[in-house]
A and B are shown apart, each in its own frame.
Chain A
Amino acid sequence: MEIGLNHYLVLSTILFAIGLVGVMRRKNLLLLFFATEILLNAVNIAFAAISHYYGDLTGQMFAFFIIAIAASEVAVGLGLLIVWYKRYGSIDLDQISTMKG
């Protein structure tokens, strides 16, 4: 019943897969952002677990910087979304394909 590093890594894998499924099947940009947060949190769990089981603080440091990056990503991303919504009245991914790449 002892919880080891592998348990946390498996949990991190499952959460990362859930986030990736969200990124691939969502059309709404706001919900796409939610899925991105899930991805970042899944990796944070892996870092904290490795940091604990190896007695090294580097993992926790990286988790802190990931949280800082997530916060700034949300601020800039939401600002851009609001500008886009004011201009086109929708945040669907399909309507942003104006470059026809």
Chain B
Amino acid sequence: MFEAIAFYLFAFLTITMFVITVTTSQALYALSALAAGMIFISAFFFILGADFLGVVQIIVYTGAVMALYAFGMMFFDTTREVKEKQGNKFIITGLSALAAVLVVVIVAAPMFADNIRALYPVIEGAGNTQTIGMVLFTKYLVPFELAAVMLLVAMVAGIVLAGKKMDLSLTLMSATEIDEMNQNMNKKVL
């Protein structure tokens, strides 16, 4: 009973937040609605007994990804209204619904064919975090390490791409220095 109430409440909240994200014309509203939707999604993970996944969802998405987006938005002109593509709305909505149904069919097809088996069943008497640790560091050790290397590569790429000219501080330079810097920047192709 409580599970049903929680499910419908959070489903409603999540769908509302994500609809706001994709329809609003203010980038800041979109950002905050997306952050709220991420937290509501972690509620589903808690309902499903995937506690560790829920905590990771909150930490990584609302802690790291949203902070990164908020930081990135400081570079862009976000006070302006966002322009939208004026396409045929029925075609867009129809194609989206079709693609979404296809994805779910692809995920759910083995279950209807009844040939799905639990490869790594939940271990009795161990909590969710413990079980995940056991599976992650035995069966999925190589993908785990590859993901770590991928995150390192992404971090280096982010620093290299965004960190150009960050050693200069516009507030500590005099006006003539800033003018010189701007002229030098115009000569070079970034």
Contact = CB atoms under 8 A, between A and B. Distances in A.
A80 B48 CA distance: 37
A96 interface: no
B170 interface: no
Interface residues on A, range: 35 or more
Interface string A1-27: 111010111011111111111101111
Interface string B147-160: 10011011101111
A20 B53 contact: no
Contact of B48 (A2, A37, A52): A52
* Secondary structure class of chain B's binding surface, majority of residues: helix
Interface in B19-75: 19, 21-22, 27, 30-31, 34, 37-38, 41, 44-45, 48-50, 52-53, 56-57, 60-61, 64-65, 68-69, 72-73, 75
Interface of A: 1-3, 5, 7-9, 11-22, 24-28, 30-31, 33-35, 37-38, 41-52, 54-58, 60-61, 63-65, 67-76, 78-83, 85-87, 91-92
Given A75-B158, A78-B158, 12 more contacts: A11-B11, A16-B100, A24-B95, A25-B92, A27-B84, A31-B82, A37-B65, A57-B135, A58-B120, A63-B53, A71-B64, A72-B155
15 contacts: A11-B14, A18-B15, A21-B92, A25-B84, A30-B72, A34-B69, A50-B107, A56-B120, A69-B147, A72-B151, A73-B154, A76-B154, A76-B157, A79-B161, A92-B83
